[in-house]
Homo-oligomer: A and B are copies of this chain.
Amino acid sequence: MAATELFEVVTGGGITTPQGYQAAGVHCGLKRVRHDLALILSATPAACAGVFTTNLVKGAPVIWTKKVVKKGIARAIVVNSGNANTCNGPQGLADATRMAHLTAELNNLSPEQVIVSSTGVIGMPLDMAKVEAGIEMATKALSRDGGPKAALAIMTTDTKPKEIALKLELSTGSVCIGGMAKGSGMIHPNMATMLAFITTDAAVDHNTLQTLLRRAVDKSFNMLSVDGDTSTNDMVIVLANGASGVAVTSEADLSLFEKGLTHVCVELTKMIARDGEGATKLIEIRVTGARTEADARKIARAISTSNLVKTAIHGHDANWGRIFCAAGYSGADFSPDKVDIFLGDEQVAAQGMALPFDEDAAKAILAEDHVIITLDFHDGDAEAVAWTCDLTSDYVRINSSYRS
């Protein structure tokens, strides 16, 4: 992607880089030490769009927030980490509602314009005394440079915050898109315990924003797998408050804005994959020459979900048979005897058969912290890219004792 020509990455940027947003991140005691409550406030009502978990078991905040997004306008986002407020029955929904109402009350908003999100353990009642104190603290702490602290406060097992901001020159002026996200286990296509919040000071109407977000998510978060599990609480939310005074309406501007939004989503996706639980590297799977895009996506996703591929790459083992095998059970249609497979630039299989290749060169490629696997099916011109991380003993260690 010739990203640098289309837009400028703002160093150190995040959700408060676009105009008209304040944010805060505080510690209210849901987690022992680290920040656990984030608040984002738009100075004016913002068009909003969202994409949510497809899990039948949904967190109470998801139920609340879907209603907000349906109406299309939001002023604030309140997020707690440490407790997912899921499987808590009617009390869970009452608590999510209370989070929206208290945020609204303290910030002079309508509760119907407050997006609520929670992530963490499932099936434990939310400690509302702590959450309420947190919302009060966060409201007082709101500032134009609060983005980084908010990014810290949404983390669970993430080892680092995930932020990005871009500046785009549209035909009628410049706009910013900022984003933050959290991973890092239970992540799989169609939203896992994966939260992403994106802000922009461009003016984009709700329906357009929803369409652009859906397409951007399909090329980014929906092509991300850390461990094949899809969580109950995931959401990607974008707010567009128009504070730049620049409206995105012309076809060229919409196209550029979509590229920017997609870039933000893809970069956050890569940050999540790279910081997957126990991960030591980012793995990128590129499928080309597939018959249909649906086939390309199935193949890329099957490979990105394979424990055997992910452990082999962890061990720097050029075991391309596992990659090919995952393609084979993906459900996609292809001719096995046409497939070429590459690890980085090193071709390891041609026409579905082993090539003699330089094992040391392959080992060196797999030892890098960003491994690119390419499969060319010579069967059409459809493409897809998926991201994952390696599977390590640390993943097991982290997930064997998460709750306790």
Q: Does B403 contact A228, Cβ atoms closer than 8 Å? A: no
Of the listed stretches A29-37, A107-115, A175-183, A346-354, chain B binds A346-354
Selected interface stretch from A116-124, A216-224, A261-269: A116-124
Mark each residue of chain A from 299 to 324: 1 if its CB lies under 8 Å from any CB of chain B, else 0: 00000011110011011011111101
- Contact check, A400 vs B317: say whether CB atoms are below 8 A apart: yes
Each complex incorporates copies of this chain amounting to 2
A87 to B355, CA, bound (A): 11
A376 within 8 Å of B (CB atoms):
no
Q: Using Cβ atoms and an 8 Å threshold, which residues of chain B touch A308?
A: 185-186, 227, 229, 399
- B228–A324 contact, CB under 8 A? no
Instruction: Check if A88 is an interface residue, CB within 8 A of chain B.
Output: yes
Q: Is the CB of B317 within 8 A of A404?
A: yes
- Whether the pair A400, B314 counts as a contact (CB closer than 8 A) is yes
Q: Which residues of B contact A404 (CB under 8 A)?
A: 315, 317
Interface assignment of A395: CB less than 8 Å from any CB of chain B: yes
Residues of B within 8 A of A55 (CB): 325, 328-329
With A and B bound together, what is the CA distance between A328 and B324 in angstroms?
30
Query: A397 at the A/B interface (Cβ < 8 Å)?
Result: yes
Q: Are A87 and B354 in contact (CB under 8 A)?
A: yes
Interchain CB contact under 8 A, B307 and A351: no
Chain B residues whose C-beta falls within 8 Å of the C-beta of A353 in the assembled complex: 87-89, 123
Nearest neighbor of A309 in chain B, beta-carbon distance: B229
A315 touches B400 (CB 8 A): yes
Contact, CB under 8 Å: A229 / B329: yes
Q: In the complex, what residues of B have CB within 8 A of residue A315's CB?
A: 399-402, 404
Q: Which residue of B lies closest to A400 (CB)?
A: B315
In the complex, chain B residues whose CB is within 8 Å of the CB of A245: none
Decide: B393 and A307 in contact? CB cutoff 8 A: no
Complex: A311 Cα to B395 Cα, angstroms: 9
Given A123-B354, A228-B228: A317 and B87 interface contact (C-beta under 8 Å): no
Q: Which of A228, A306, A325 has the most CB of B within 10 A?
A: A325
Q: A56-B329, A231-B325, A329-B55 are in contact. Are A88 and B354 (CB under 8 A)?
A: yes
A252 located at the interface, meaning its Cβ lies under 8 Å from any Cβ of chain B in the complex? no
A173 neighbours in B (Cβ, 8 Å)? none
A332 to chain B, nearest CB (A): 8
- Cross-interface CB contact of A89 among B58, B87, B352, cutoff 8 Å: B352
Distance of A256 Cα from B318 Cα, bound (Å): 48
Contact B402 A86, beta carbon cutoff 8 Å: no
A355: nearest residue on chain B (CB-CB)? Answer: B123
Q: Is A57 an interface residue (CB 8 A)?
A: yes
14 contacts across the A-B interface (CB closer than 8 A)? A55-B325, A55-B328, A56-B334, A58-B336, A87-B349, A87-B353, A122-B325, A227-B308, A232-B321, A311-B395, A314-B400, A315-B400, A391-B396, A395-B396
Apart from A186-B325, A229-B308, what 12 extra A-B contacts exist at CB < 8 Å? A54-B329, A55-B329, A56-B330, A56-B334, A58-B328, A87-B324, A87-B353, A89-B337, A122-B321, A230-B328, A311-B400, A318-B403
